[in-house]
Chains A and B, each alone.
Chain A
Amino acid sequence: MAGFSSQHLLGIKHITKQDIELIFDTANHFKEVINRPIKKVPSLRDITIANLFFENSTRTRLSFELAEKRLSADVINFSANQSSVKKGETLIDTVNNILSMKVDIVVMRHPDVGAGVFLSKHVNARIINAGDGTHEHPTQALLDAYSIKEKLGSIKGKNIVIVGDILHSRVALSNIFALQKLGANIKVCGPATLIPKHIKSLGVGVELNIDKALQWCDVANVLRVQHERMDIKYFPSVREYTQLFGINKARLNALNKDIVIMHPGPINRGVEITSDVADSKQAIILNQVENGVAIRMAIIYLLAEQIKNA
């Protein structure tokens, strides 16, 4: 069996289709593990992992922490709003201080694009990118693709639309890379102001009409409207956004098929998606969360495997 081709998981762009398939195969086994009466394996009992969150996160941090604990790793947590970062320490200093405590793997979320790549060049640890600014969020894309595969059987040839704030979304970019490597057709849909200018150069279609987009797709991945990343007004009002791009039952009932609804969370109920859709059988939002733990266990396991015991 070939191992994982990279020493880090910094983004989907630089890993191969074979890597993604290896992660999925490994995640299948971990999904079985986390449904046992005792949901834990001892593989990583001599590995220490630091979760460095320089930006707020609830589910990603919990999901990583649970994945690490289910693998029996020792875990230390760090969040920027209660640390020396506020006192002026640089990123490399912060991380090197943590690494002198003999840490093997760093899981990092950071508001700056490329923070993971930067770190991987300057410190001696395996880096997992848990989201870097508006750039990539590889584990989210992998769990999204895994959930689609689980629901539909395969990804090749499926039509997938990503709806909402594409401009500020690291989930969108990582999803595009992952799903394209697995052979899906991708369109993005949202207000023209929130569609990046050169998105077509990635081989992605643009559709500004949500009803046409839904009619075309097998899966709609609905993104959150990220008010916190918007420095200016990108659309006139939340109410108008909801009317033009919100996913509701009426829109889904008008289709002649059942499409799969996804959302990376946290949901703004009543804004990008209505409650009756989010809680319907078509939605696999909670499956995504469960699969997130299995996927993250697989990634951590595959990277840890490369750290040879001296």
Chain B
Amino acid sequence: MAKKKLLNKNAIAIILQRLACQLIENHNNFADTVLIGLQPRGVFLAKRLAHIIQNDYQVKDLKLGQLDITFYRDDFRRREEPLAANTTSIDFTIENKKVVFIDDVLFSGRSIRAALTAVQSFGRPSEIELLVLIDRRFSRHLPIQPDYKGFQVDAINQEKVLVQWQEQNKADAVYMVS
């Protein structure tokens, strides 16, 4: 198994700053915007971005939630391994708010499709945007594209993109595994 480093800690830090700034450009003080990290791995990215927006750019009252899509997946009863659900916590209203979904890797687009269905259980947002750290081009199964992307990867099917976070894996890094 070959493992090639695509991004190191410094490169990721620069990308996170840029993504945070792009969010601020479009959403000002976040009065009408909520950030939602997708479980399990989008939550790390969402927390990092929220931290930068709150501490480096003094945005107060930023609303951050986490959404689990297990019960909305389209491959239930079609997988060998059972799926374990994660915690959903959205303790604010999303009615008429701008929602930004945050996930680490955009691949087939199926998780985002599930998230679009799942989030409707909490109300009717005025609009939904998508932010991803890694956009794997040419691998989409559905017509879904990101509004904000950190880094674009052209990978073929057998290759995997692995995002590691300091909180979980000791260091920030993005690898291509083949």
* Contact between chains at A37 and B87 (CB < 8 Å): no
* Contact between chains at B76 and A29 (CB < 8 Å): no
Q: How far is the CA of A260 from the CA of B70 in the complex (A)?
A: 34
User: Which of A51-59, A219-227, A269-277, A300-308 forms contacts with chain B?
Assistant: A300-308
* Contact between chains at B77 and A308 (CB < 8 Å): yes
| CB contact list, B49-98 vs A, under 8 A | 68, 70-72, 76-78, 81-89
* Contact between chains at B77 and A305 (CB < 8 Å): yes
* Contact between chains at B76 and A43 (CB < 8 Å): yes
Q: How far is the CA of A207 from the CA of B14 in the complex (A)?
A: 69
Q: Does A41 contact B (CB under 8 A)?
A: yes
User: Which of B114-122, B144-152, B170-178 forms contacts with chain A?
Assistant: B114-122
Residue of A nearest to B80 (CB): A308
Count residues of A near B (Cβ-Cβ below 8 Å): 25
Residue of B nearest to A41 (CB): B71
- B: interface residue count bin: 20 to 34
* Contact between chains at B88 and A1 (CB < 8 Å): no
Residue of A nearest to B89 (CB): A32
Of the candidates A38, A42, A304, which one forms a contact with B77 in the assembled complex, judged by CB atoms under 8 Å apart?
A304
| A307-B77 contact given A32-B87, A36-B121, CB 8 Å threshold | yes
Of the candidates B78, B84, B89, B121, which one forms a contact with A1 in the assembled complex, judged by CB atoms under 8 Å apart?
B84
Q: Does A159 contact B (CB under 8 A)?
A: no
* Contact between chains at B72 and A41 (CB < 8 Å): yes
Residues of A contacting B78 in the complex (Cβ-Cβ under 8 angstroms)? 308-309
Q: Does A40 contact B (CB under 8 A)?
A: yes
* Contact between chains at B121 and A38 (CB < 8 Å): yes
Q: Interface code A1-44, partner B: CB below 8 Å = 1, 0 otherwise?
A: 11110000000000000000000011001001100111111110
Residues of B contacting A42 in the complex (Cβ-Cβ under 8 angstroms)? 71-72, 117
| A43-B71 contact given A36-B121, A36-B122, CB 8 Å threshold | yes
- Chain B nearest Cβ from A230, distance in angstroms: 44
* Contact between chains at B83 and A33 (CB < 8 Å): no
11 A-B residue pairs with Cβ-Cβ distance under 8 Å, sorted by A, are A2-B82, A29-B87, A32-B88, A33-B88, A38-B121, A43-B71, A46-B77, A301-B71, A302-B82, A305-B77, A309-B78
Sorted nearest first, the 9 A-B pairs with minimum C-beta distance are A41-B71, A3-B82, A38-B121, A1-B84, A29-B85, A309-B77, A43-B71, A36-B121, A309-B78
Known: A29-B86, A41-B118, A304-B77; 13 extra A-B contacts, CB below 8 A, are A2-B82, A4-B82, A29-B71, A29-B85, A36-B122, A37-B121, A40-B121, A42-B117, A43-B71, A301-B71, A302-B82, A305-B76, A307-B77
